[in-house]
Amino acid sequence: MRYLRVGLAQINCTVGDIEGNARKVLEYIQRAREQGVELVAFPELALTGYPPEDLLLKPQFVAENQRKLAELLPATAGLTAVVGFVDSDGDIYNAAAVLHHGELSGVYRKSYLPNYGVFDENRYFQVGSEAPVFLRDGMTLGVNICEDIWHPSGPTLLQAQAGAEVVVNINASPYYMGKRDFREKMLATRAVDQVMIVTYTNMVGGQDELVFDGASVIFNEKGELVARGKQFEEDLVVADLDVDSVFRYRLHDPRRRQEIRQAESRRDKVPRISLRPVPESRRVGTPLSLTKPALLEGAAEVYGALVMGTRDYVRKNGFRKVLIGLSGGIDSAMVAVIAVDALGPSQVVGVSMPSRYTSEASKVDAQALAQNLGMELITIPMEDIFKSYLSTLGPVFQGVAPDTTEENIQARIRGNLLMALSNKFGWLVLTTGNKSEMATGYATLYGDMAGGFAVVKDVPKTLVYELAEYRNQRDGKPVIPRSIIVKEPTAELKPNQRDVDNLPPYPVLDPILKAYVEEDKSLSQIVGMGFPEETVKRVITLVDKSEYKRRQAPPGLKITPRAFGRDRRLPITNRFLGAETRK
């Protein structure tokens, strides 16, 4: 019986850390070897991290990645490793090196370069034009990269037509809610369509605004899930691929046989690279049992993404502790819980900065939360500072009524205090604004928006509540006080303030925002969904008018199909106002 033992090494790479990423590749090659793996696959651009952005324009960066690739060769004695790197021949390519038994046997260059959403690959890479297959011990293997496999007529088809029984697809696929399920359906379809085994190795970890969720998978030629790696953790998925089954299945599939005959003429366009035989001492006689860890779905999945993304941003940027302004509200509570889960309670400091408008309940709730989490809480009353602003500005503001100016002054005092602690003690400030606020501009620039990382920036308010419920139920020990969850949302910047004085209720606001921001729906289309026209107009106007604030917002984790940031690029100077558009 022919089978191939593969290892899918879903490692957590760091952009720019070529040395560290290579070290990790070596470590996983060694672990794979110990488990008798014959072919181990690493993520897309594993050596450079993904996305390297304009580092790719530095020749010294590309050269260093090539040097490191060459240094990996000796470690591949006895096996095959597929490693993502930047190939260069004057132009540069997003490429996969096939390192086999100490030699560089071949290179695949990505054919389909994504240049939408968060992706800018056309900015850097040239398109690869060849789709080679690799022959090993009578088995035919195709190698390609991420976006390639999303195209039904792409290199996967060419490689299948050239006889590939297994395709080794390597990825750095940014997470958003619902993507894993969609992706797995596509991979299963691709496996069935081409009658081949699909191995999908994904990056894991956080990189600025992006989270890579891991969850590497293998689908067999019948579209059945053979194995899945962990989500949001490094993993080495080892499985034995029954290549004979592909062969048998193809022979008995008349549709497939016809395709093969049609493909005969194309076969010679696909380079065929033979890998030299290696000693088989490590081959194991019986197939491994399958690995499928429990699947995180829904709120649990989003929560996992936020925890890992936060941990990685903090750690990869060299911070030990983080600082969070705790208002007693749900958003800052949620961010504190995520931070504690990501970093441990001793690495998270809360600050309560009560003003004349802060209710007793808010103070108590912040304290209860900190106590539940076992984190430190510093209290810095801001009243004296607020008074000094009011008296200093008194002469200039004479005769003008109080308005949001005075509210923003308070938020900016808090921003200044948080940053003072950050500067003094080297703690990273986590901001607490959610997507509903970022969308509508219901946040103060340089105030509550001040900080290094915006944990729930892409989480709509209604989902913040879902996450709170999930986390409180997760291990039977609620951490967020019930009173925080049930209280009416308020900024507490003037007497008796409530969010609903400025915004529609969140269950109305959030679907309108999704339609406008994530789906580019027009005013009339959103009204057609059943929302009052005046409400929709107001929301759209708020979104359009807040672009300048978002441009200066800290980065935060993408968890929806379209996040603010690199994912949605709108001009600030813009007279195309969605609320005025006829159609």
Tell me how far apart the alpha carbons of residues 162 and 479 are, in angstroms, rounded to a whole number.
57
Is 431 buried (19+), middle (13-18) or exposed (0-12) by CB count in 10 A? buried
Cβ-contact 362, 328 below 8 angstroms:
yes
Tell me how far apart the alpha carbons of residues 206 and 174 are, in angstroms, rounded to a whole number.
9
Binding residue for its own copies, selected from 52, 328, 329, 504, defined by CB under 8 A: 52
Does 63 contact its own copies by CB under 8 A? yes
Binding residue for its own copies, selected from 404, 482, 501, 534, defined by CB under 8 A: 404
**Phi and psi of 250, rounded to 5°?**
-65, -40
Residue closer to its own copies by CB (options 367, 525) is: 525
The count of residues interacting with its own copies (CB under 8 A) is 86
Q: Which of 13, 38, 146, 316 is catalytic?
A: 146
Does 14 contact its own copies by CB under 8 A? yes
Residue closer to its own copies by CB (options 36, 555) is: 555
Tell me how far apart the alpha carbons of residues 7 and 49 are, in angstroms, rounded to a whole number.
20
Binding residue for its own copies, selected from 150, 247, 357, 397, defined by CB under 8 A: 397
Residues 533-572 that bind its own copies (CB under 8 A): 548, 551-555, 568-572
Closest C-alpha among 181, 449, 219 to residue 325: 449
How near is the Cβ of 261 to its own copies at its closest, in Å? 33
Q: Which of 38, 44, 64, 209 is catalytic?
A: 44
Residue closer to its own copies by CB (options 394, 476) is: 394
Closest C-alpha among 63, 173, 42 to residue 118: 173
Strands across the sheet containing 3-10: 103-109, 92-100, 80-88, 39-41, 3-10, 235-242
Residues 178-217 that bind its own copies (CB under 8 A): 206-208
How near is the Cβ of 538 to its own copies at its closest, in Å? 18
Buried b or exposed e, range 542-573, using 16+ CB within 10 angstroms: bbbebbebbeebbbbbbbbebbbbbbeeeeee
DSSP letter for 515, please.
I
Residues 355-384 that bind its own copies (CB under 8 A): 378, 380-382, 384
Does 392 contact its own copies by CB under 8 A? yes
Q: Examine the residue annotation and report whether 58 is marked as an active-site residue of this protein.
A: no
Binding residue for its own copies, selected from 257, 387, 482, 498, defined by CB under 8 A: 387
Does 405 contact its own copies by CB under 8 A? yes
Which helix (H) or strand (E) covers residue 439, if one does? helix 435-440
Residues 445-474 that bind its own copies (CB under 8 A): 445-446, 450, 452
- Stretch of 116-124, 166-174, 244-252, 473-481 lying at the interface with its own copies (CB under 8 A): 116-124
Q: Examine the residue annotation and report whether 13 is marked as an active-site residue of this protein.
A: no
Q: Where are the alpha helices (DSSP H) in 38-178?
A: 59-72, 147-150, 155-161
Residues 117-176 that bind its own copies (CB under 8 A): 120, 122-123
Does 408 contact its own copies by CB under 8 A? yes
Tell me how far apart the alpha carbons of residues 61 and 59 are, in angstroms, rounded to a whole number.
5
Does 413 contact its own copies by CB under 8 A? yes
Binding residue for its own copies, selected from 26, 263, 290, 419, defined by CB under 8 A: 419
